[in-house]
Homo-oligomer: A and B are copies of this chain.
Amino acid sequence: MALIVKKFGGSSVATPDKMRAIVNRVLKGEQPGDKIVIVVSAMGDTTDDLVSLANEVTSKPIGREMDMLLSVGEQISIALMAMAFQEAGHKAISFTGAQAGITTSSAFNKGRILDIQPDRILNALNDGNIVIVAGFQGITDIGDITTLGRGGSDTTAVAIAGAMNADVCEIYTDVDGVYSSDPRVVPTAVKMQEITYGEMLEMARLGAGVMQPRAVEMGSRFNVPIHVRSTFNDHQGTMIQEAYSMEIKQYMIRGVADDKNVAKVTVLGIPNKPGYAYQVFSELADKNIDVDMIVQSVRVANEGETDITFTISRSDLIAAKEVLDHLCKELGANNVLIDDKMAKVSIVGAGMAGHPGIAAGVFGVLGENDINIEIISTSEISISCLISEENVEKAVKAIHARFFDEH
């Protein structure tokens, strides 16, 4: 007897046939006394179609009306899913975000969940229903409909699981778990049985795409075990949780991630005085441009000037260039250099903290493969190296081989 929250994404509910497949699977796996909450996204391309419709009407839709429009997608899915369960002979009921008691901030298009009052969900479960909840949406305190932005349905599922103290939140995806690296790049990548919230967050931050960091953070905050598994088979997936549940063989490194959405920016010849570096980064922050790795180097030949190199997302390049060109003049810097053919390769693992040899191992592997490291950054549970984009696959394979294949 367990309380289980299951989340199915848009491709899993894209057609009535696929919905029936989910119904069969859920009912087959149901144990006597289980209470099941299902969170679904909009069917297939519904959201894109709605966005196109809005674009036919206006080039600059206001957030509130966009959310009024987009929330419809999940509402269609929940109604049809409830009908599919009823057709299969099981009691079921659908709830919008509002009916599920999900209150969010009034930041339209990117609402944050402030509170969940799951009374109606609980009552419906106690009445023997499978409860279907619309992902990706909530309601403000004055009753406006909001959507949660990217990864919204995962966040809904984990938040409900947290609010109801569920035994597990199952996230069904098109991969069957979290791998030590992208299996399409590294054929020997291994599926992890378990991973900690911290490691998963670091993997996500560093480019591994399985789950949005938001949902993982929510899981960490409420200590909800998240089971990432396949929509298409019954295999055990990967459990994301606070700590390892058993004495599994402790890999020092849990995964190798890469991120190709990286550009390197260098501002040359900034006067080497206090406050100048601050001004660069504060003006970038004002434009919502995230800066990742940073290196500042004083010139040996001219101690009065310094060069600052950092990385940003490639999508922010145009906006950053504008800020920096203007700043160059103001600060009297010499020039701005941009390289948009860079990438970041990272290793992640909570076990590496006590093993200083890991970093040396990474650098050694890259050196053996003639891959130049431009910047290095580290956290307690990760090491990242900025390298040329053309070397990414080689680097990921070599690092993965060094730390996984030898075991």
Contacts and interface: CB of A to CB of B under 8 A. Distances in A.
A14 interface: no
A39 to B, nearest CB: 15
Given A57-B19, A99-B143, A69 B64 contact: no
Given A16-B53, A53-B80, A76-B53, A87 B66 contact: no
Contact of A57 (B16, B59, B60, B62): B16
A375 interface: no
- Stoichiometry, as copies per complex, reads 2
B65 A83 contact: yes
Contact of A98 (B56, B62, B80, B143): B143
A17 to B, nearest CB: 9
A54 interface: yes
A75 interface: yes
A364 interface: no
Interface of A: 16, 19-20, 50, 53-54, 56-62, 64-66, 68-69, 71-72, 75-76, 78-80, 82-84, 86-87, 93-94, 96, 98-99, 120, 142-145
Contact of A93 (B54, B64, B98, B120): B64
Contact of A86 (B58, B80, B98): B58
A76 B58 contact: no
A130 to B, nearest CB: 12
Contact of A83 (B54, B76, B79): B54
Contact of A79 (B16, B59, B69): B69
A19 B144 CA distance: 23
Contact of A61 (B83, B96, B99, B145): B83
Nearest to A71: B75
23 contacts: A20-B57, A53-B80, A54-B80, A54-B83, A57-B83, A58-B84, A60-B87, A62-B82, A62-B86, A65-B82, A65-B93, A66-B83, A68-B78, A68-B82, A68-B96, A69-B79, A69-B80, A69-B83, A72-B75, A72-B76, A99-B144, A120-B142, A120-B143
